[in-house]
Structure 1
Amino acid sequence: MFKKIPLAWLQLTRERTRLVIALAGIAFADILMFMQLGFREALFDANVLLHKSLEGDIVLINPQSDALLSMQSFSQRRLYQALAVKSVSSVHPIYLDFTGWKNPQTRKLRNIQVIGINPEDKLFALPGVAEKLDVIKLPDVVIFDKGSRAEFGPIAADIEQGKFVNTEVDGRKVKVGGIFELGASFGADGNIITSDQNFLRIFADKRKFGLIDIGVINLKPGTDVEVAKAQIQNFLPKDIKVLTKQEFVDFEKDYWASSTAIGFIFTLGTIMGFIVGTVIVYQILYSEVSDHMPEYATLKAMGYTQTYLLLVVFQEALILAILGFMPGFGFAMVQYTMARNATLLPIAMTARRAITVIILTILMCFISGAIAVRKLRSADPADIF
């Protein structure tokens, strides 16, 4: 059709200014959708990095826990009771809490996530942790997350330069013995890891001995995870929630998606971007159809069918969708880089998101075209001849 009469393209390019405005509007809508979807995915990804890094098969938590930022403690006896299940190879407790970190330079306090582990356990597949397990065995020594926000101070830079860094955590003097890499999230601006003994020293006034926040279970090789989960669930009392590693990840994602306003806001922002783009494209296509009514009436008089005229409008919608998507994609890449540098969140372009947005863009333009073509019904050759 385009080879014989490239009518859709000719009509769009006849008014260059209108075309540029239309493409700018579509690009704006695409950027809005890209940013909202990007932040939404970054929200999920950042908040489950710790979960995904766990070197374990089964996770035990308190059923009253909502998410990593609001974990409820439970007795470590429950974790060690799981050793009685034949498929269990080893168990490992994790302590988790938030408290004030004093910036060594500004002396300002900022909440940081403190993670306590047994230094003999290799629990996290995070860069820098395994190499520093011996270091955190020392009293009042912690390792600092280099992905933490800048408000905690230039800790990583100082350590990399060989400087000694001393500060206070919850009012207790500590030494930073090294760095690891996890990254900030919507729940935690920064993280430190230390030994279980150091953790209990830091929270001596707030913690009862024998209470942990997460229990990690390693299964014997060849064990079916779902079968082992059911065995552990049946063996332990009902005051413990038993999850597979993937279920633990989903547990966190579900909280941020359904129990907080943040997930809803980003979803709403995506919908608003779609609506804005639909309105913009509709206005352009409606103007195109209205301005070319005499031409459409002439084509009808020449024998072209209503279906052909409808296809012309939908071709215009498709052209607008593709041309508008390209600058939107480019600007979104730039915005992702800026957002990643500013927030330290793992926000990046993915093929799945690009495909999602271009499909939404085409759908957006087709919906606009479907509304605009109603005007074609009034294209009557009798009005011209």
Structure 2
Amino acid sequence: MDQLAIKMLVADRGKLLTALVGVVFSVVLVNVQGGLFLGLIGKASLLVDQSGADLWVGHLRMNNVDFPQDIPRRWVHRIRAIDGVERADPYVIGHTIMTLPSGAFEQVLVVGCDSASLAGAAAQMALGEVGAIRSPDAVLLDADDLDKVEHPAIGELREVGHRRARVVGYTRGVLGFLVTPYVFTTLDRSAAYLRKPTDRVSYFLVRLAPGADARRVRQAIEARLPDAETMTAREYAVASIDYWLRRTGIGLSFGAATGLGLVVGLIVVGQTLYASVLDRAPEYATLKAIGASEAQLRSVLVCQAVTLALAGSACGLLLVAVAQTACATPRAPITIPWQVSVGSVVLVGVICLFASLAPYLKLRRVDPGLVMQ
């Protein structure tokens, strides 16, 4: 019956092609739109993800890594004294202005790291070394953000917060959710650029000792610092992403576009399969006339639906891989986890099954005598 089902499916190649296009369109849309959304929103937690810290300690009700409130730097000594803390490093994040050679200005996000540990510094470098920020006036810019600051060369001077800054290296792929470029430098230098006292910082990045209980250490920090909040890196990454999802329309816009396209593609698939089954009513009447059972008729419909779903999904995922390779950029990454791909295939398969089995009730009433007409 499986061979018969495939032959019946490919008999009308026009309708088969239409249904395949619908399946491919649906799979590509879900994966590419979903990948763009995940790639974009994932940048909201970039600093948290690449920091390597186990715990983040900041102001009460901290909800976005790019918009911190200052806390006293002296708190770091209380954290370091807690059993299970391997190290704790101050971290500064703040917005200021970079003056460009043309006389224009660019808003930048200064990130200050402890000069000894470089905790929270850029994870990937395109040119130079992270440790170069220890040299006088040194800063790092991202290679993909150079156009925003008029393409400074290595060793070229800029003015950040009305203070001199020398570009000593380029990071790779450190592009945040905001349009403002990141400027990595040392802790004390960042205070000068941001014009804030050196005894104030934004966060403390905590690394746990091997075998330490994160929950217990977190409770100990909160007990010693009741005016601070402590989150695991994972929790703060989720909080930073949730901040933008709740306060902007990005989730709704991407979801609506993906959902609308998905519905259109699946309607095409469903309508084509439904019409295809009904158009072959005489063929099903012939099967019933030669003794095919109801179970065999259902197996024909299921086989056609599964074949169409698998063939269309395979073509769709191949196109997705091509689009991801050709179109993904650091500014617009396409991040497609396997769960999204598998989910799109399952969804398309369910729709194909439903569209093929929906006309089954009509096929049950088909009179085998149609073959005699």
**Does the alignment reach a TM-score above 0.5?**
yes
Give how far 1:182 is off.
Answer: 4.1
AA aligned opposite 2:117: D
1:169 partnered with 2:160: yes
Structure 2 Cα separation of the partners of residues 151 and 373 of structure 1:
61
From 108, 117, 131, give the equivalent of 1:133: 131
Give how far 1:285 is off.
Answer: 0.8
AA aligned opposite 2:145: S
State the SS of the aligned residue for 1:68: coil
Contact 2:34 2:336 in 1 (8 A): no
AA aligned opposite 1:112: V
Q: Which residue of 1 aligns with 2:183?
A: 192
Q: 1:300 to 1:93 in 2, by over 3 A?
A: same
Give how far 1:81 is off.
Answer: 2.6
1:281 partnered with 2:269: yes
Q: What is the CA RMSD across the aligned residues, in angstroms?
A: 2.8
Q: 1:292 to 1:103 in 2, by over 3 A?
A: farther
Contact 1:49 1:182 in 2 (8 A): no
Structure 2 Cα separation of the partners of residues 7 and 171 of structure 1:
78
Structure 2 Cα separation of the partners of residues 183 and 374 of structure 1:
57
Contact 1:50 1:182 in 2 (8 A): no
Give how far 1:332 is off.
Answer: 1.6
State the SS of the aligned residue for 2:145: coil
Q: Which residue of 2 aligns with 1:224?
A: 213
From 336, 348, 364, give the equivalent of 1:361: 348
Q: Which residue of 2 aligns with 1:154?
A: 151
Give how far 1:347 is off.
Answer: 2.5
Cα deviation, 1:167-203, whole Å, max 9, x if unaligned, reads 2334544221222234223235531101222212222
Alignment of 1:228-247 (within 5 A): 228-237=217-226, 239-247=227-235
Alignment of 1:15-30 (within 5 A): 15-30=12-27
Q: Which runs of 5+ in 2 are unaligned?
A: none
State the SS of the aligned residue for 2:74: helix
From 55, 59, 63, give the equivalent of 1:62: 59
State the SS of the aligned residue for 1:126: coil
Q: Which residue of 2 aligns with 1:143?
A: 140
Q: Which residue of 2 aligns with 1:90?
A: 87
From 364, 368, 371, give the equivalent of 1:381: 368
AA aligned opposite 2:352: C
From 298, 301, 307, give the equivalent of 2:286: 298
Give how far 1:123 is off.
Answer: 0.4
Structure 2 Cα separation of the partners of residues 305 and 314 of structure 1:
14
Q: Which residue of 2 aligns with 1:12?
A: 9
Q: 1:117 to 1:269 in 2, by over 3 A?
A: same
Structure 1 Cα separation of the partners of residues 353 and 58 of structure 2:
48
Q: 1:326 to 1:90 in 2, by over 3 A?
A: closer
Alignment of 1:326-337 (within 5 A): 326-337=314-325
Q: Which residue of 1 aligns with 2:250?
A: 262
From 141, 147, 169, give the equivalent of 1:178: 169
Cα deviation, 1:52-80, whole Å, max 9, x if unaligned, reads 22243321022333212322332323333
Q: State how many pairs are aligned.
A: 370
Q: Which moved more, 1:145-154 or 1:294-303?
A: 145-154
Q: 1:364 to 1:73 in 2, by over 3 A?
A: farther
Contact 1:286 1:375 in 2 (8 A): no
Q: Which residue of 2 aligns with 1:76?
A: 73
State the SS of the aligned residue for 2:334: coil
1:215 partnered with 2:212: no
Give how far 1:313 is off.
Answer: 1.9
Q: Which moved more, 1:296-305 or 1:26-35?
A: 296-305
1:115 partnered with 2:111: yes
Give how far 1:358 is off.
Answer: 1.8
Q: 1:109 to 1:358 in 2, by over 3 A?
A: farther
Structure 2 Cα separation of the partners of residues 28 and 134 of structure 1:
48
Cα deviation, 1:265-299, whole Å, max 9, x if unaligned, reads 33344433432232111111112112111111222
AA aligned opposite 2:32: M
Contact 2:56 2:232 in 1 (8 A): yes
Structure 1 Cα separation of the partners of residues 360 and 238 of structure 2:
44
Contact 2:111 2:182 in 1 (8 A): yes
Q: Which moved more, 1:374-383 or 1:332-341?
A: 374-383
Q: Which runs of 5+ in 1 are unaligned?
A: none
Q: Which residue of 2 aligns with 1:252?
A: 240
Q: 1:325 to 1:110 in 2, by over 3 A?
A: farther
